């Protein structure tokens, strides 16, 4: 483990070696944020003018970065045993690792942080991501750090390995450090005195595979150069601020992606900065010339060697209606000078050259001669069907470096929170459940891959290309869903599509039955009432209404049977009441009343079958 003095010297060396690149990055940042002003000729009371040209640097950075960020890559973690469905080393464990990464993205707001990360990568050719163990939330935090204050290990441009050590530098005032870290006060043996409270001091955060450490680096000037002084009690204005923190992840948690360029990073937009400066300067001068043409300079010629003078001592603006009285003057004239029209042409030419070099179509400006949006080529440029090579490079850089970020996230879980049980919402569009895991059990490996379906294409282009291939039957629906960035879980998505098709078919079938009279409207209304609150789909509602109707039919059948039984018993009672003389002569005929009925009448009420025989016999006798 490196000691403090070694870390301090390595940080200063990294800072000194990287200073020229940082200066170029700072210039790009100033153009992006519009912090530049155009100095005008040294004329009394002449104010500096802001940048009046289009924000071309901002358009280049934001335009490409937002298009690149519109597509989310797919993340995969391999199963240690691809033939095992569940359990240890299974495909289910691999899916849980993907859900762990997705949950970490979701809880850190990576969808927005990623836009800033890609802006850095597009503007500076490098970016900075730090995976920080957050002990308050008990999970890793994804921090997008400022590349201008990030100093990674020096390495070859073609190297795609993660850095072994990185130093982050942050500047604070002496007053803040004295209050936050009392050990830095001169009264307690530190280097910051009462006179140093307004100065800015560099604080470094060192991260490598063994430790994380904070230290005071020293005071700096406004431009970032170190201030060197003679210290009687110290070897220099530096000191450790904390004890070293053991890095339990076992790897450097700082990732600094970089583009492979011709010479060194930070020079993609540098060649265009002077172009933007000249546009701003020429346009500002042209505006001043236009102002002079509207309000020209005036002159007065004296007569007979006399000095002209104003009668009331001041010159009145002609717009206020007052008359200027000049004595001892022979003639009053104006210096009328029209601005050169070639100046505005030169500004337009510079802007067009900028757009061509930066990959922005000049046709979007609407003023390119012979190439307005009425032409087919202009419409093709507007649609942007072709894959942009600049976005392609951003996606390919992301595919190489994001696996290092994912590995740092998984290693942070295992190193600091290995035995903690988590229950997190994964944030997947097709995942409605939560992922439950213990890092030491679920994270069997930190290997992962990150890939884009069509590198270099934005979300509209991906949809167009995949849709065309699906329409041409060159890919399946499952392949389309697996490669589209908005479809997180193809299986769940396909299941929902099939359910929607079945629901539409069921509703269409019901409507046909209602129209043809096969289904009463009242039954259809009852099914719709079940679906109104959203708790039932058409199938559940149909089954529920069918069960209710069956129960109603069963109750109606039982009631009808009970009514029939009561009627038969009443008829039986009436017949028994008419036995004997009350039955009339016809009842005395042989065979009029069967012996079974008489036996039943003597022993009790006849059963249903006997009553039927009695009624039949009575009917025959009456005939």
Asked whether residue 309 is assigned to any structural domain, the reply reads no
Q: What are phi and psi of 188, to 5 degrees?
A: -110, 15
Largest CA distance in the chain: 171
Residues 495 and 573 in one domain: yes
- Whether residue 92 is contained in a domain is answered as no
Distance, CA of 208 to CA of 344 (rounded, Å): 54
Nearest to 116 by CA among 124, 99, 428: 124
Q: What is the 3-state secondary structure of 496-551?
A: HHHHHHHHHHHHHHHHHHHHHCCCCHHHHHHHHHHHCCCCCCHHHHHHHHHHHHHH
- The range of the structural domain enclosing residue 564 comes to 489-577
- 513 and 534 together in one domain: yes
- For residue 367, the Cα-to-chain-centroid distance in whole angstroms is 34
Q: What DSSP state is assigned to residue 458?
A: -
CA count, 13 A, side-chain hemisphere, 125? 17
pLDDT tens-digit map of 541-586: 999 999 988 888 888 888 888 888 888 878 777 766 655 555 555 5
pLDDT at 611: 45
Annotate 76-124 with DSSP letters as a single string.
Answer: E---SSTT--SSTTSHHHHHHHHHHHHHHHHHHTHHHHHHHHHHHHHHH
pLDDT of residue 58: 84
Judged by DSSP in three states, 575 sits in: helix
Please report, for residues 128, 267, 401, 468, the alpha-carbon distance to residue 264 in angstroms, rounded to integers and kept in the order given: 17, 7, 18, 40
d(CA 306, CA 329): 8
What is the pLDDT, as a whole number, of residue 621? 52
Nearest C-alpha neighbor of 615 from the set 294, 623, 384: 623
**317 Cβ contact partners less than 8 Å away, ≥ 6 residues apart:** none
pLDDT digit string, tens, across residues 387-440? 778 889 899 999 999 999 999 999 999 999 999 999 999 887 666 678 999 999
Backbone torsion region of residue 512, taken as left when φ is above 0, otherwise alpha when ψ lies between -120 and 50, otherwise beta: alpha
User: What tokens were used for 283?
Assistant: 């346009």
Secondary structure of residue 255 in the 3-state scheme: strand
Task: Give yes or no: residues 499 and 554 share one domain.
Answer: yes
Looking at the fold, whether 573 and 506 belong to one and the same domain comes out as: yes
What's the confidence (pLDDT) of residue 174? 94
Helix (H) or strand (E) holding 181: none
3-state helix, strand, coil in the chain (%, to 5): 50, 15, 35
Pairing of strands 434-437, 329-335: unpaired
Ramachandran angles phi, psi of 74, nearest 5°: -95, 135
- Tokens (6 digits) for 449: 């891959």
Write out residues in the chain with pLDDT < 50, as ranges: 232-233, 363-367, 369-372, 377, 597-609, 611-612, 614-616, 619, 622-623
Tell me what pLDDT residue 245 has. 94
493 and 573 together in one domain: yes
Q: What is the pLDDT of residue 428?
A: 72
The structure's pTM equals 0.73
Overall domain count for the chain: 2
Q: How far apart are CA 101 and CA 450, in angstroms?
A: 12
For residue 494, give both structure tokens.
């396909």
Residue of 219, 225, 222 lying closest to 237 (CA atoms): 219
Tokens of 225: 């150069």
Q: Does residue 609 sit in helix, strand or coil? A: helix
Using CA atoms, how far apart are residues 308 and 302, in angstroms rounded to an integer?
Answer: 5
Indicate whether 533 and 599 sit together in one domain.
no
Decide if 80 is inside a domain: no
Cβ count near 93 (within 10 Å): 22
* C-alpha separations of 603 from 354, 597, 607 in Å: 118, 10, 11
**Burial (CB count <10 Å: 0-12, 13-18, 19+), residue 150:** buried
3-state SS, 42-83, equals: CCCCCCCEECCCCCHHHHHHHHHHHHHHCCCCEEECCCCCCC
Q: Name the nearest CA neighbour of 491 among 479, 506, 504.
A: 479
CB 477 within 8 A of CB 470: yes
As given in the structure block, the two tokens for residue 107 are 């809880």
* Through-space distance between the first and last CA atoms of the chain, rounded to whole angstroms: 123
Q: Is residue 75 part of a domain?
A: no
Q: Residue 198: which residues within 8 A CB-CB, separation 6 or more?
A: 173, 174, 175
Closest CA to 258 of 340, 343, 160: 160
Query: Does residue 562 lie within any of the structural domains?
Result: yes
Whether 138 is in a domain gets the answer: no
Burial 247-272 (b: 16+ CB within 10 A, else e): bebebbbbbbbbbeeeeebbbbbeeb
The verdict on residue 508 lying in a domain is yes
| Tokens encoding 472 | 């041409």
Are 544 and 613 found together in one domain? no
The phi, psi pair for 214, rounded to 5°, reads -115, 140
Reference 120, options 252, 21, 20, 266; nearest CA is: 266
360: left (phi over 0), alpha (psi -120 to 50) or beta: beta
What pLDDT was estimated at residue 120?
94
Is residue 146 a part of any domain in this protein? Answer: no
On whether both 554 and 599 belong to a single domain, the answer is no
Q: Which two tokens stand for residue 62?
A: 């934001």
How remote is the C-alpha of 511 from its chain's centroid?
A: 42
Q: Do 502 and 548 belong to one domain? A: yes
pLDDT for residue 562: 87
Q: How far apart are CA 593 and CA 322, in angstroms?
A: 140
Task: Give the C-alpha separation, 364 to 220, whole Å.
Answer: 45
β-sheet bridge partners, residue 246? 211
The per-residue pLDDT for 601 is: 45
Give strand pairing partners of 333: 299
How is residue 5 annotated by DSSP? H
């Amino acid at each position: 483990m490196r000691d403090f003095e070694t870390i301090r010297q390595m940080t200063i060396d990294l800072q000194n070696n990287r200073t020229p690149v940082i200066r170029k990055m700072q210039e790009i940042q100033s153009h992006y944020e519009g912090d530049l002003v155009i100095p005008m000729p040294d004329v009394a009371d002449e104010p500096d003018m802001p940048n009046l040209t289009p924000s071309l640097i901002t358009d280049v950075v934001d335009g490409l970065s937002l298009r690149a960020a519109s597509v989310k890559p797919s993340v995969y973690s391999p199963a240690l045993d691809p033939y095992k469905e569940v359990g240890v080393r299974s495909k289910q464990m691999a899916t849980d690792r993907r859900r762990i990464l997705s949950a970490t993205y979701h809880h850190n707001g990576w969808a927005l942080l990623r836009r800033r990360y890609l802006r850095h990568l597009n503007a500076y050719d490098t970016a900075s991501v730090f995976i920080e163990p957050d002990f308050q939330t008990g999970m890793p935090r994804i921090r997008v750090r400022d590349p201008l204050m990030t100093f990674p290990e020096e390495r070859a441009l073609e190297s795609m390995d993660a850095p072994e050590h990185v130093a982050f530098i942050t500047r604070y005032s002496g007053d803040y450090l004295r209050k936050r870290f009392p050990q830095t006060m001169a009264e307690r043996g530190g280097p910051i005195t009462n006179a140093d409270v307004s100065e800015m001091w560099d604080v470094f955060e060192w991260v490598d595979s063994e430790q994380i450490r904070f230290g005071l680096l020293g005071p700096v000037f406004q431009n970032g150069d170190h201030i060197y002084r003679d210290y009687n009690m110290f070897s220099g204005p530096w000191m450790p601020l904390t004890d070293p923190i053991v890095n339990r992840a076992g790897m450097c948690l700082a990732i600094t992606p970089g583009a492979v360029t011709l010479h060194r990073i930070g020079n993609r937009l540098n060649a265009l900065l002077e172009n933007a400066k000249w546009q701003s300067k020429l346009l500002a001068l042209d505006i001043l010339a236009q102002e002079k043409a509207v309000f020209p300079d005036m002159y007065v010629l004296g007569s007979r060697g006399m000095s002209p003078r104003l009668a009331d001592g001041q010159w009145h603006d002609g717009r206020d209606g007052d008359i200027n009285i000049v004595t001892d003057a022979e003639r009053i004239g104006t210096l009328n000078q029209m601005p050169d029209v070639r100046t505005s042409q030169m500004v337009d030419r510079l802007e067009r050259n900028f757009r061509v070099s930066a990959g922005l179509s000049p046709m979007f400006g609407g003023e390119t001669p012979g190439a307005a949006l009425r032409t087919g080529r202009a419409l093709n440029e507007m649609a942007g069907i072709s894959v942009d090579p600049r976005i392609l490079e951003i996606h390919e850089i992301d595919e190489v470096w994001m696996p290092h970020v994912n590995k740092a996230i998984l290693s942070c879980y295992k190193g600091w929170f290995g035995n903690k049980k988590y229950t997190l919402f994964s944030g997947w569009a097709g995942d409605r459940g939560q992922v439950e895991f213990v890092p030491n059990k679920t994270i069997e490996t930190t290997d992962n891959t990150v890939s884009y379906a069509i590198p270099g294409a934005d979300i509209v282009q991906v949809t167009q290309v995949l849709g065309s291939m699906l329409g041409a039957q060159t890919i399946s629906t499952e392949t389309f869903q697996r490669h589209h960035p908005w479809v997180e879980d193809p299986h769940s998505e396909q299941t929902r599509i099939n359910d929607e098709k079945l629901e539409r078919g069921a509703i269409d079938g019901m409507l046909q039955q209602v129209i043809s009279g096969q289904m009463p409207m009242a039954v259809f209304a009852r099914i719709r009432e079940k679906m109104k609150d959203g708790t039932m789909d058409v199938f559940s509602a149909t089954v529920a209404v069918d069960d209710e109707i069956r129960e109603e039919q069963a109750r109606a059948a039982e009631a009808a049977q009970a009514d029939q039984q009561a009627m038969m018993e009443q008829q039986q009672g009436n017949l028994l009441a008419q036995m004997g003389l009350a039955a009339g002569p016809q009842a005395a005929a042989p065979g009029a009343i069967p012996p079974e009925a008489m036996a039943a009448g003597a022993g009790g009420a006849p059963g249903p079958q006997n009553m039927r025989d009695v009624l039949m016999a009575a009917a025959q006798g009456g005939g």
